[in-house]
Amino acid sequence: MVKLSVVVPFYNVQTYAPETLRSLRANTRDDFEFLLVDDCSSDGTLEILERAERELPGAVVLRHERNGGLATARNTGLDSARGEFVTFLDGDDWVAPGYYAQVVEAAEGLGVDFVRTDHVQFTGKARTIHRVPVGLRDEVLRPRDVILPADRSTSVDYPYAWAGVYHRRLVERGLVHFTDGLRTAEDRPWIWRLHREAESFAALSVLGIFYRRGVASSLTQIGDVRQLDFIRAFDEVIEETAKDPEADRFLPKAVRTYCAIIAHHLGSIERFEPSVARQLRAMSAGALKRLPQDVLKEALDSMDLERSTRLRRLRRRSAATGKAVA
For the segment 155-173, the average pLDDT, to the nearest whole number, is: 98
pLDDT value at 224 more than 80: no
Q: What is the pLDDT of residue 166?
A: 98
- Taking only the tens place, the pLDDT of each residue in 54-73 is 999 999 999 999 999 999 99
CB 211 within 8 A of CB 158: no
Alpha-carbon torsion 270, 276, 278, 279, what sign? negative
Q: What is the pTM of this model?
A: 0.93
| Phi, psi at 104, each rounded to 5° | -65, -40
Mean pLDDT of 260-265: 96
Read out DSSP for 221-282? G--SGGGGHHHHHHHHHHHHHHTSTTHHHHHHHHHHHHHHHHHHHHHTGGGS-HHHHHHHHH
* pLDDT at 213 (0 to 100): 87
Average pLDDT over residues 234-255: 98
Mean pLDDT of 206-234: 80
Segment holding 127, helix H or strand E? strand 126-130
Q: Residue 297 above 90 pLDDT?
A: yes
Distance CA 150, CA 102 (A): 33
Q: Which residues contact 105 (CB under 8 A, 6 or more apart)?
A: none
Q: What is the largest CA-CA distance in the chain?
A: 64
Predicted confidence at residue 322, as pLDDT, reads 59
Give residue-wise pLDDT tens across range 85-99.
999 999 999 999 999
Looking at residue 221, what is its pLDDT? Answer: 46
Query: Which SS3 state, helix, strand or coil, does residue 204 take?
Result: strand
Map residue 178 onto helix, strand or coil. Answer: coil
| DSSP category for residue 157 | G
Are 120 and 128 spatial neighbours (Cβ–Cβ below 8 Å)?
Answer: yes
Residue 240 has pLDDT above 60, yes or no: yes
Question: Above 60 in pLDDT, residue 230?
Answer: yes
pLDDT at position 125: 85
How many Cβ atoms are within 10 Å of 142's Cβ, its own excluded?
11
> Between these two residues, 172 and 324, which has the higher pLDDT value?
172
222 or 60: which leads in pLDDT: 60
CB-based contact 25:86 (threshold 8 Å): no
Ordered DSSP codes for 38-85: E---SSSHHHHHHHHHHHSTTEEEEE-SS---HHHHHHHHHHH---SE
Share of the chain above pLDDT 70, in %: 95
